[in-house]
Amino acid sequence: MIMRLKDCHNFSDFRKLAKLKLPSPIFHYIDGAADDEITYARNTSAFDDVDLVPNVLRGVENVDLSTTIFGKKLDLPFYLSPTALQRLFHYDGERAVGKAAKKFNTMFGVSALATVSVEEISSMIDTPKMFQFYFHKDRGLNDSCLERAKAAKFDVMALTVDTITGGNRERDLRTGFTSPPKLTLSSLFSFATKPMWGINYLTKGKFELPHLQDFVKEGTSTNSSIGNYFSTMLDQSMNWKDAEKLCSQWGGHFALKGVMSVEDAKRAVDIGCTGIMVSNHGGRQLDGSRSPFDQLAEIVDAVGDKLDVICEGGIHRGTHMLKALSLGAKACSGGRLYLYALAAGGQAGVERAIEKYKSELVRDMKLMGCTKISDLNRDNLRFRRT
């Protein structure tokens, strides 16, 4: 039984501890995905269809894990994807995650639906930061987000393009997940059995969505499900012209998050993007969608020399990252990768998770006979089915 942070050695351990600590609707909001969760499962199992082939006797005392994306050098080849509502998972929320990212000098992704403001985050950490942007119907809100992120000196803007409507997250339908949490009869029991979560939620500062609250009521007072937010607030007419306009309005490193086809990846180059996240939103949107790792090689072949390709989703292990990097991804990222750890232990939890992945990477690089990320290439891999 996993009861303490120091019992957590891997992804699944952090997940178990998070389950113990969180009220069930909130745990299932993180843990769940769309429809039958087939894509969610495939995102991880895709890594099992390819094997690593190590080289021996290469002298591997010192391993350098650093990589450069969006013009910023990171000490690790993975970073923390933007995720919404972090203060629901631990009362320190983005403050905890940001400080952990800073400690390891990797990028911290801040969601438009963050519960701590870009200004506060920027005053807290000087390491690389990405702001994740949703395209709302309210253009005033869009402009405000962009201006605030720019003023707060964020390094990268990532426009999410795979949430034009809410995914069918059936677990949330059953548990009645809303933000802020609504006490329904069915969830009451679960909240009541995790009193620490309830006490912290009620006493550690008001729950807010600081980037939205001046514009929409969904930010604070009314209970709204995330699916409902996507479906009613976001502009479903968003197209390539809008993305191009945002990109030039931002005027810095700009990425599309949720690109899956080669055609779209090429178009991202044309509109001036400097990176793309190959992602299906952690299996939370279109179930049956291809996994990022399955699709990675095609995309790298088409555009890998023109922008930074990031593999996002399904990563549980250092070896998963090694496989994605060998195929040509510049970096990897994940949300659940650190969210369970956040729920399990706040900043200390996220730091422990990053430390675990880092030590896995160092060990696995040595076992592969590699001392730097650029040593990894497709010769290291054999696909089981060709």
Partner 1 sequence: MSLKNCYNFEDFRKLAKKKLPSPIFHYIDGGSDDESTLRRNTDSFNECDLVPNILASVGKPDLSTTLFGRKIDMPIFLSPAAMQRLYHPDGDKASARAAEKFGTFYSMSSMGNNSIEEISNISSGPKLFQLYVHKDRSISDDLIDRSRRSGFDAMCLTVDTLVAGNREKDHRTGFTTPPKLTLQSLISFAMRPNWVFNYLTGKKFELSNVKKKTDKGTSIAKSVIEYINEQYDPAMGWKDAEYCAKKWNGPFALKGVMSVEDAKRAIDIGCTAIMISNHGGRQLDGSRSPFDQVKAISDAVGDKLEIILDGGVRRGTHVLKALAAGAKACSFGKMFLFSLAAGGQKGVEHLLQNMHDEINRNMVLMGCKNLKELNSSKLIYRSRS
Binding footprint of partner 1, residue count (CB under 8 A): 33
Q: What DSSP designation does 12 have?
A: H
16 near partner 1, rule: CB under 8 A: no
Burial of 4 (0-12, 13-18, 19+ CB in 10 A): exposed
What's the closest the beta carbon of residue 279 comes to partner 1, in angstroms?
A: 21
CA distance 27 to 53: 37
Query: Applying CB under 8 A, which part among 45-53, 152-160, 162-170, 275-283 lies near partner 1?
Result: 45-53
Nearer to partner 1, 53 or 188 (CB): 53
CA distance 229 to 33: 16
C-alpha closest to that of 115 among 97, 129, 101: 97
CA distance 300 to 20: 40
What's the closest the beta carbon of residue 89 comes to partner 1, in angstroms?
A: 25
Q: Residue 179 CB: number of other CB atoms within 10 A?
A: 24
Q: Which residue out of 28, 136, 281, 320 is catalytically annotated?
A: 281
Tokens 């010192």: give the residue: 62
Query: Applying CB under 8 A, which part among 56-64, 113-121, 294-302, 336-344 lies near partner 1?
Result: 56-64
Nearer to partner 1, 162 or 360 (CB): 360
Nearer to partner 1, 45 or 68 (CB): 45
Question: Catalytic: 316?
Answer: no
Both tokens assigned to 181: 């949490």
Q: How far apart are the first and last CA of the chain?
A: 41
Query: Applying CB under 8 A, which part among 191-199, 272-280, 282-290, 315-323 lies near partner 1?
Result: 315-323
Nearer to partner 1, 59 or 195 (CB): 59
| DSSP H or E run through 113 | none
CA distance 70 to 203: 39
Both tokens assigned to 121: 């985050």
Nearer to partner 1, 2 or 100 (CB): 2
| Coil/strand/helix, residue 125 | coil
Nearer to partner 1, 37 or 364 (CB): 364
21 near partner 1, rule: CB under 8 A: no
Q: Are 161 and 257 a contacting pair, CB within 8 Å?
A: yes
31, 172, 294, 360: which one contacts partner 1 (CB under 8 A)?
360
3, 36, 58, 372: which one contacts partner 1 (CB under 8 A)?
58
Contacts for 266 with CB less than 8 Å, ≥ 6 apart? 302, 303
What's the closest the beta carbon of residue 386 comes to partner 1, in angstroms?
A: 6
4 near partner 1, rule: CB under 8 A: no
What's the closest the beta carbon of residue 202 comes to partner 1, in angstroms?
A: 36
48 near partner 1, rule: CB under 8 A: yes
372 near partner 1, rule: CB under 8 A: no
Q: Are 373 and 65 a contacting pair, CB within 8 Å?
A: yes
Catalog residues that contact partner 1 under the rule CB under 8 A: 7, 9-10, 47-48, 51-61, 316-317, 319-320, 322-323, 360, 362-364, 366-368, 382, 384-386
Active site residues: 281
